[in-house]
Amino acid sequence: MTTAVPAAEQAAQAREGAALVLDRIAKTYRGAGGGVAALGPVDLEVWRGEFVSIVGPSGCGKSTLFSIVGGLAEEYDGRVLIDGRAVRGPQREIGMVFQEESTFPWLSALENVAFPLRVAGVARAERETRARRMLRLVGLEGFEGARPAKLSGGMRQRTALARTLIAQPRILLMDEPFAALDEQTRLLLGDRLLDVWRELEQTTLLITHSIAEAVQLSDRVVVMTFRPGRVKRIVKIDLPRPRTSAILGSERFGHFVSLIWSELRDEALRGLDAREERC
């Protein structure tokens, strides 16, 4: 005799099988003037090998969410689960790429990328081989010996990406990694990121302001509300893969961008009003 498993239980089991689960994540900043409910509660699953982007207006708690998932925030409600295991604090399984420049200026590109392996005590020959491979993957072959000052902003961010990926994180977490770069460079770096994602089948969670970037790259786009940031809608992007930035000209791409903007517009207006009230 077979026993039917209730649908809710099946859903819960499937959820536990996700690479990353955000379970009722919420954050209130407390200060002398009272509390600011910044985020949540947020529920989200990211499946193995999936590329998910989070877009939201300024002030919806994107950076707060990034710091919670990355284990940098100390006080928050809810749970972060990696492969079904509840975690708190920094985890080896999560590799982070930040908005800010994070290369070491005194090291070459190769030494920058090999750095995590050096810390882990990996022998020099092996770490150099692996660092060369990573630099090739992000399109920086030939720049192994260059110091960051000799590289463009986009090249430095690719070096930072390679350095994160060399540690083979189960989940790649990125906070506006291309924010400081011009639009054209961003689009081309998006293409490069997609190549890397495909090659490594890397589970990825990207936080971005850019709707076009989110649509170009993602399997699903999570649209957040203004403060406290909650999931307003999840849009499945069923554009064909492999994708490149050439897809920006397609009608379907335009459809997704306008769909997401129609969800986001009211939230962005609320954010704008809140900022003007403060001024």
Ligand X SMILES: Nc1ncnc2c1ncn2[C@@H]1O[C@H](COP(=O)(O)OP(=O)(O)OP(=O)(O)O)[C@@H](O)[C@H]1O
Q: How far is the CB of 160 from ligand X (least distance, A)?
A: 19
d(CA 42, CA 24): 5
Among the candidate windows 12-20, 30-38, 78-86, 121-129, which touches ligand X by CB under 6 A? Answer: 30-38
| Nearest residue (CB) to ligand X, 54 versus 134 | 54
Q: Which residues contact 41 (CB under 8 A, 6 or more apart)?
A: 24, 25, 26, 77, 78, 230
Q: In sequence order, what are the residues at sequence separation of 6 or more whose Cβ sits closer than 8 angstroms to the Cβ of residue 249?
A: none
Per-residue x/- marks for ligand X, 178-217, CB under 6 A? ----------------------------------------
Fill in the DSSP letter of residue 242. S
The minimum distance between CB 57 and ligand X, in angstroms, equals 7
User: Strands, E, within the chain: which ranges?
Assistant: 20-31, 34-46, 51-55, 77-82, 85-87, 94-97, 171-175, 203-208, 220-224, 231-236
Per-residue x/- mask for ligand X, residues 51 to 80, rule CB under 6 A? -----x-xxxxxxx----------------
Using CB under 6 A, which residues numbered 211 to 250 contact ligand X? 227
For residue 44, give the DSSP letter: E
- Read off the amino acid at residue 235: V
* Min separation Cβ 25 and ligand X, Å: 12
Least spacing, CB of residue 26 vs ligand X, in Å: 12
Q: For residues 63 and 244, which CB has a smaller minimum distance to ligand X in the complex?
A: 63
Smallest distance, ligand X to C-beta of residue 28, A = 9
User: Which one of 15, 16, 23, 36 is in contact with ligand X (CB under 6 A)?
Assistant: 36
Q: How far is CA 230 from the centre of its chain?
A: 17
At 276, which amino acid appears? E
Q: How far is the CB of 95 from ligand X (least distance, A)?
A: 20
CA 79 to centroid of chain Cα atoms: 18
Q: How far is the CB of 22 from ligand X (least distance, A)?
A: 14
Nearer to ligand X, 12 or 37 (CB): 37
Query: Pick from 198, 188, 196, 235: which is nearest to 215 by CA?
Result: 235
When binding is defined by CB under 6 A, the residue of 13, 29, 72, 90 that contacts ligand X is 29
- Total binding residues toward ligand X, as defined by CB under 6 A: 13
Q: What is the DSSP string of 174-238?
A: EESTTTTS-HHHHHHHHHHHHHHHHHHT-EEEEEES-HHHHHHH-SEEEEEPSSSB-EEEEEE--
Positions touching ligand X (CB under 6 A) are 29, 31, 36, 38, 56, 58-64, 227
